[in-house]
Amino acid sequence: MIRYLEIDEILELHFWIIEDFGGSHGVRDELGLKSLVAAPQTVVFGEEQYVSVHEKAAVYLRNCIADHIFTDGNKRTAVTIAGIFLARNGWRMTAAAVELENFAVRVATDHLDIDAIADWLERHSRDVLMV
Q: Which tens digits make up the pLDDT trace of 1-45?
A: 999 999 999 999 999 999 999 999 999 999 999 999 999 999 999
Which pLDDT band, with edges at 50, 70 and 90, does 129 fall under? confident
In whole angstroms, give the CA distance from residue 69 to residue 34: 10
Q: What is the DSSP letter of 105?
A: H
Neighbouring-strand partners of residue 127: 91
Are the C-beta atoms of 65 and 117 separated by less than 8 Å?
no
Report the run of H or E that residue 125 belongs to, with start and end: strand 125-127
Question: Over the stretch 33-62, which tens digit does the pLDDT of each residue have?
Answer: 999 999 999 999 999 999 999 999 999 999
Residue 14's CB is within 10 A of a number of other CB atoms, namely 27
In whole angstroms, give the CA distance from residue 104 to residue 96: 12
pTM: 0.94
Residue-range domains of the chain with CATH:
26-127 (1.20.120.1870)
The C-alpha angle with vertex 32 and arms to 29 and 34, in degrees rounded to 5, equals 115
Neighbouring-strand partners of residue 93: 125
In whole angstroms, give the CA distance from residue 65 to residue 94: 21
